[in-house]
Amino acid sequence: MLDEMKKRVYEMNVELPRQGLVAMTSGNVSGRRPGDDRVVIKPSGMPYEEMGPEDMVVVDLQGEVLEGDKKPSSDTASHLYVYRQRQDVNGMVHTHSNYATSFAALGEPIPACLTQIADEFGGDIPVGPFVPIGEEDIGQAIVENIGDSPGILLKNHGVFTVGESPEAALKSAVMVEDAARTVHLAQTRGEPDRLPDEAIERAHRRYQEDYGQ
Amino acid sequence: MLDEMKKRVYEMNVELPRQGLVAMTSGNVSGRRPGDDRVVIKPSGMPYEEMGPEDMVVVDLQGEVLEGDKKPSSDTASHLYVYRQRQDVNGMVHTHSNYATSFAALGEPIPACLTQIADEFGGDIPVGPFVPIGEEDIGQAIVENIGDSPGILLKNHGVFTVGESPEAALKSAVMVEDAARTVHLAQTRGEPDRLPDEAIERAHRRYQEDYGQ
Amino acid sequence: MLDEMKKRVYEMNVELPRQGLVAMTSGNVSGRRPGDDRVVIKPSGMPYEEMGPEDMVVVDLQGEVLEGDKKPSSDTASHLYVYRQRQDVNGMVHTHSNYATSFAALGEPIPACLTQIADEFGGDIPVGPFVPIGEEDIGQAIVENIGDSPGILLKNHGVFTVGESPEAALKSAVMVEDAARTVHLAQTRGEPDRLPDEAIERAHRRYQEDYGQ
Amino acid sequence: MLDEMKKRVYEMNVELPRQGLVAMTSGNVSGRRPGDDRVVIKPSGMPYEEMGPEDMVVVDLQGEVLEGDKKPSSDTASHLYVYRQRQDVNGMVHTHSNYATSFAALGEPIPACLTQIADEFGGDIPVGPFVPIGEEDIGQAIVENIGDSPGILLKNHGVFTVGESPEAALKSAVMVEDAARTVHLAQTRGEPDRLPDEAIERAHRRYQEDYGQ
């Protein structure tokens, strides 16, 4: 069932340690086919180097396991909440990547002071409140606070990104960390100017419309 | 003698440079089988890339070498002190990993301001006093100050973690450094809020009971 | 057409992720043969690990695509502006490398407080204003502000380097980031002394004339 | 001539990029056999990935090239000054490793606030003045300021380490950077206590006498 999507979700999960976004078993990626009511997600607490595509768990939008002999990620209920509320979201990533999570620790957004942030996020990378892990509270906090951004920080916790595919959500997770790293470095020495709203909008539009093949 | 445990202790030792936790020959891992009165430990000052499982040294709980033609780690007496006092400990790791050791340098605990710290450590990662290397003073400082945490910092020195196995202690050593890195980054820009005790307890319980396979 | 230059430009493009200077698809390298009126440049937004030499795009100095089935980099107009104004430039690199871009975020030059900066750059690494991406504004800002330096920062954006070849521009891009890293670290703890002008000139001359084979 | 030493010096040179201590062609290692009046040193400005053992240059203590078709390192005169003054030194390393060089940029020693610094260096890692590159001034500054330490920083420049062999000098170069990294991190958040002299001496003696095989 969903072998192609399992392979893609697996590939994006193992990309997390390759990109330096996770330590040990932390972090997870999920995905669904557009319009489908099934979600493929990482098994809970499983080492990345021991996983294969066949270990990905298939659940329905209420969290019922449809296929897989592993327990799904402990963040599953929150992923599903987002998939139920956002038909445009077909991929999600969660990490504790260090630089971005340092903004989450302080409950601070990452300001749009770089063209790369304007390009990818279309504004500041927002931050939502602290909510407990395990049920769908995190999913609710994401939906309520993410706006049009593909990425959000949750206070005292970490990073969540969404996208039209697992690959798009993974790209945003990498770019959140890359932006956070540069802004952190700048903020330890001074206060970078935020780009004007008009420049942010123009850069974001150009990036969406003209960039890439 | 204890070939299986030698292999496991060797594997966790070479994981230290792979995880970026040590420079040159620093750091060490030991392990014992539950209920056994023999401990397997890294040889002193030996390069990780030159070691094999057969170089691991077997000692009894008083430090007598039972097997191995190498001198055991210079921290052996301290490892043994912990193993004698704590029947639940069957693996130990020592590193000077940079971010965590910067907290040790200042004699500061790592505060439980992130869900990942609550999950893994159940509270702040504590710090013990400076004590000299070579005899069992370090072991005593660990036992007196570690409480229920799997990890502790010793002032002006570094990181020590304990666990039910060498693999568990290694995981905690990675997670101490990962937590230290994020908290360091946050503290250079502001003061992160500690999580409420109740949230820490709930997160820690959930992580122990529900997380993983 | 220009197979040798395509191979060289491709090699320098894939050197960007190897050297840790870019995240995902960001960054680009271009090159031309001395005296030629054609430029070889990276395709827009293409993953480095999926590219081959045959994907490099050949454009004339007005931006007309002469060969290649990919769209050229969105920074092409700015590269071409520099090539038109500077006959001595036959290679260009653009990155958002983190440490250097943190200086760009603050609109600050990297001061010549290290012999390695004097050697490679002959003075402070300058910073130009923020200008929008997409047309040749960036190229103009580079030409107006770079002086004799092989590298420049543009405010709220990133790093641009030029050289007599793509390989030389790549080397400068690596050295900008390396210098930025050390100066950042020093500036978070104090204020490093700038080298005297006379020492900078002597070091730069020696490096140009005596260093290397 | 000196094929064994060329191989060892080559191996320690290529260890520099592997250990993350250098960017591009910067840095160098030299070595001599105890009692010999010939020194083997890296060729000037040659990429590490293009070098082989046969590219190492053999010079006498006055800098005359005895063997090799490459120009020796531009730091050769300074290496030779140290070898002439210090019979106990048979290996030297020079890097601009980032954390240690940030202390050099500020003209600050690295204080002995960690057991690993006491172990390896027997006290603070000292800093010497800024002196120009190219002649033997650097060698003089090293000999005058290094004392009993295996490593020293030179202001506005970088790191120099010495040892009884190229391998020992390389180890010290790695340990300088590792120590610098942790002390930098601590100093950005507070002021670490220096260890008492008596504790430093005891740790250093134990490390020299008991540590290792």
D161: CATH: 3.40.225.10
Q: What is the 3-state secondary structure (H, E, C) of C161-201?
A: EEECCHHHHHHHHHHHHHHHHHHHHHHCCCCCCCCCHHHHH
φ/ψ (deg, to 5) at A17: -65, -35
Residue with tokens 């601590």: D186
> Closest by alpha carbon to B107, among D202, D195, D50, C213?
D195
For D20, name the nearest residue in chain B, comparing CA atoms only: B23
Determine contact, residues A209/A201, Cβ cutoff 8 Å: no
Question: Which chains are within 8 Å of B by 3+ CB pairs?
Answer: A, D
B113: nearest CB among A45, A46, A105: A105
Chain C residues within 8 A of A202 when measuring between CB atoms? 132
Span B124-137, average pLDDT: 93
Distances (CA, A) of A209 to A185, A205, B68, D79: 30, 6, 66, 57
Q: What is the pLDDT of residue D134?
A: 77
Q: How far apart are CA A193 and CA A112, in angstroms?
A: 9
Whether residue B102 lies within 8 A of chain D, CB to CB, comes out as: yes
Determine contact, residues C142/C83, Cβ cutoff 8 Å: no
Share in percent of chain B as helix, strand, coil (round to 5)? 45, 15, 40
Report the half-sphere exposure of A184 (CA within 13 A, side-chain side). 26
d(CA B151, nearest CA chain D) in Å: 19
C185: nearest CB among D70, D71, D99: D99
d(CA C203, nearest CA chain D) in Å: 7
Chain D residues within 8 A of B98 when measuring between CB atoms? 178, 181-182, 185
Tens of pLDDT, residues C77-107: 999 999 999 999 999 999 999 999 999 999 9
| Buried-state track D113-122, b at ≥16 Cβ within 10 A, e below 16 | bbbbbbbbbb
Q: What is the pLDDT of residue B133?
A: 82
Q: What is the pLDDT of residue D12?
A: 98
B99: nearest CB among D116, D185, D199: D185
Whether residue B74 lies within 8 A of chain D, CB to CB, comes out as: yes
d(CA B9, nearest CA chain A) in Å: 18
Whether residue A156 lies within 8 A of chain B, CB to CB, comes out as: yes
How many whole angstroms from its chain centre is CA A30? 10
Q: What is the pLDDT of residue B134?
A: 77
Determine contact, residues C154/C142, Cβ cutoff 8 Å: yes
Chain A residues within 8 A of C25 when measuring between CB atoms? 212
Determine contact, residues B192/B186, Cβ cutoff 8 Å: yes
Distances (CA, A) of B76 to B63, B134, B199, C27, D213: 7, 8, 37, 50, 14
- DSSP label at residue A213: -
Chain A residues within 8 A of B210 when measuring between CB atoms? 44, 74, 134
Q: How far apart are CA A14 and CA D131, in angstroms?
A: 49
Beta bridge partners of C161: C93, C151
Low-confidence ranges of chain A (pLDDT < 70): none
Using only C-alpha atoms, what is the Rg of chain A? 17
Chain D residues within 8 A of C188 when measuring between CB atoms? 184, 188
Distances (CA, A) of A96 to A22, A102, A168, B178, C123: 6, 9, 18, 9, 39
Residue with tokens 């945003």: A172
The pairing of strands D38-41 and B127-128 is: unpaired
Q: Which of B2-16, C10-24, D129-143 has the lowest mean pLDDT?
A: D129-143
Mapping DSSP to helix (H, G, I), strand (E, B) and coil, where does residue D141 land? helix
Whether residue C99 lies within 8 A of chain A, CB to CB, comes out as: yes
Range(s) of the domain holding residue A40: 2-209
C192: nearest CB among D106, D158, D187: D106
User: Which helix (H) or strand (E) element contains residue C152?
Assistant: strand C151-154
**Domains in chain D, number:** 1
For C185, name the nearest residue in chain D, comparing CA atoms only: D102
Whether residue D63 lies within 8 A of chain B, CB to CB, comes out as: no
Chain C residues within 8 A of D44 when measuring between CB atoms? 210-213
Q: How far apart are CA D76 and CA B101, in angstroms?
A: 37
Tens of pLDDT, residues D46-105: 999 999 999 999 999 999 999 999 999 999 999 999 999 999 999 999 999 999 999 999
* Beta carbons of A156 and B210 less than 8 Å apart: no
Chain D residues within 8 A of B106 when measuring between CB atoms? 186, 189-192
d(CA C21, nearest CA chain A) in Å: 11
Tens of pLDDT, residues C125-136: 999 999 988 789
Q: What is the pLDDT of residue A87?
A: 97
- DSSP label at residue A173: H
Q: How far apart are CA D166 and CA D171, in angstroms?
A: 9
Chain A residues within 8 A of C128 when measuring between CB atoms? none
* Beta carbons of A182 and C23 less than 8 Å apart: no
Output the CA torsion sign for D64, D67, D68, D73.
negative
Chain B residues within 8 A of A188 when measuring between CB atoms? 188-189
Considering chain B, what is the average pLDDT of its residues? 97
Span C143-164, average pLDDT: 98
Amino acid found at D97:
S
Residue A52, both tokens = 């294969």
Mutate one of C98, C159, C182 to test the A interface: name it (highest A CB count within 10 A).
C98
| Buried-state track C24-49, b at ≥16 Cβ within 10 A, e below 16 | bbbbbbbbbeeeeebbbbbbbbbebe
Residue A37, both tokens = 């009511």
Residue C112, both tokens = 């010549």
B206: nearest CB among A133, A156, A187: A133
* Beta carbons of D106 and C202 less than 8 Å apart: no
Report the half-sphere exposure of D103 (CA within 13 A, side-chain side). 29
Residue C76 has pLDDT above 80, yes or no: yes
Chain B residues within 8 A of A106 when measuring between CB atoms? 186, 189-192
ipTM over 0.90: yes
Q: What is the number of residues in chain D? A: 213
Determine contact, residues D7/D33, Cβ cutoff 8 Å: no
Whether residue D145 lies within 8 A of chain C, CB to CB, comes out as: no
Q: What is the pLDDT of residue C66?
A: 98
Residue C71 pLDDT grade (very low, low, confident, very high; cuts 50, 70, 90) = very high
Tens of pLDDT, residues C173-187: 999 999 999 999 999
Question: Which chains are within 8 Å of D by 3+ CB pairs?
Answer: B, C
Beta bridge partners of D67: D58
Output the CA torsion sign for A148, A153, A154, A159.
positive
How many whole angstroms from its chain centre is CA D167? 10
- DSSP label at residue A134: S
Whether residue C168 lies within 8 A of chain D, CB to CB, comes out as: no
Output the CA torsion sign for B40, B82, B65, D200.
positive
φ/ψ (deg, to 5) at C166: -60, -35
